[in-house]
Amino acid sequence: MIWTELHGQLFSQAVKKVLGAADRGTMAFIRCLTPGVSECLARDPGFAPGGWSVWRVADVPNPTIRTITADEAVELREGKGDATLLLVDTARSGAGMDGIYSAAQEVDEDKLFDEARRLAAGATTKSLSSQARRYAERAIKKARGFGQRLSLSPWTEFDFLVRITAEKRHPGELLYLLGLWPVQQGDLSDPDTTLNVSRLFVDRLLSTSVAGLAPAQRIATLNLLNPSAEQVTTLERFLRTAATKPLLLGMEELADKQQLRVNVLQIESAAEVIQSIELVPWRTNTGRIAKWSGLIEGGAV
């Protein structure tokens, strides 16, 4: 995961909005985050919801990165000091958190991420354009459409929007974060066109329905338009590697493979230009009109 200052800033605003006023003696906790995200937030000084003291709860205390143990968290609750927000690493915090779970306020995951996505989408509009935001939101909906094939976490969707804004990138270039095939500078005003092709690439190359096919066979189903030998070789190598990993992890390898992006690789049905014209004479070698032409000699009935 690539962390940016904007992750901490926007998530901080979302938490503050959901939690409201930081009254003394109040304690709240978040336990819906992955261990990696919890640690990144604890390390990031930009994550500072106004008035709330932030601590990550794990198995080893480390004040320099705002980390305490469950026992220390209980002491904070009993001390009723400053308003405290706990980022609970559920894999490492241990059973000592049970008392806090029953006595403190849990931050509602749906409300938190609805607000976080709203803020991130607004930042995308401000930093890039409204078209970029709409493209990104359509991409999230397209990725959600995978159903049981892929379950996107709320953080993944938030991360996608933040990365677009922080890096000022075309949303299509970061589609691999959502489990979609990256797109090279797609039309922002018509996102569905390139997003449909992006989804097609994943379906034809990485879905469970083609798992038994060799990479070359999968590539053939795309009907690519004049791919270079290097592109085909690189694509085959990627498919062999991706087959051994979960979808999102495998797709990360496409991040720097610009030669494999949609629009760089084109499929025949998506080509809107004439590639060549062949002129075929409609007279035979003897000068007569060929029957296949449907033409009739002048004066003939």
User: Coil, strand or helix: which one is 57?
Assistant: strand
d(CA 143, CA 180): 7
Q: Which of 57, 64, 62, 60 is nearest to 29 (CA)?
A: 57
292 versus 110: which is more confidently predicted?
110
CB-count burial class (<10 Å; 0-12, 13-18, 19+) for 167: middle
> What is the model's pLDDT at position 273?
40
Find the helix or strand (DSSP H, E) in which 79 lies.
helix 70-79
Bridge partners, residue 265, by sequence = 262
In tens, the pLDDT along 160-211 reads: 999 999 999 999 999 999 999 999 987 787 888 899 999 999 999 998 888 8
In tens, the pLDDT along 71-100 reads: 999 999 999 889 999 999 999 998 889 889
pTM for the whole thing?
0.84
Measured N-to-C along each axis, helices 35-43 and 5-19 cross at an angle, to the nearest 10 degrees, of 100
When pLDDT is cut at 50, 70 and 90, the band that residue 287 belongs to is confident
In tens, the pLDDT along 85-144 reads: 999 999 999 888 988 999 899 999 999 999 999 999 999 999 999 999 999 999 999 998
Is the per-residue pLDDT at 301 higher than 50? no
Q: Could you give the percent of the chain with pLDDT greater than 90?
A: 72
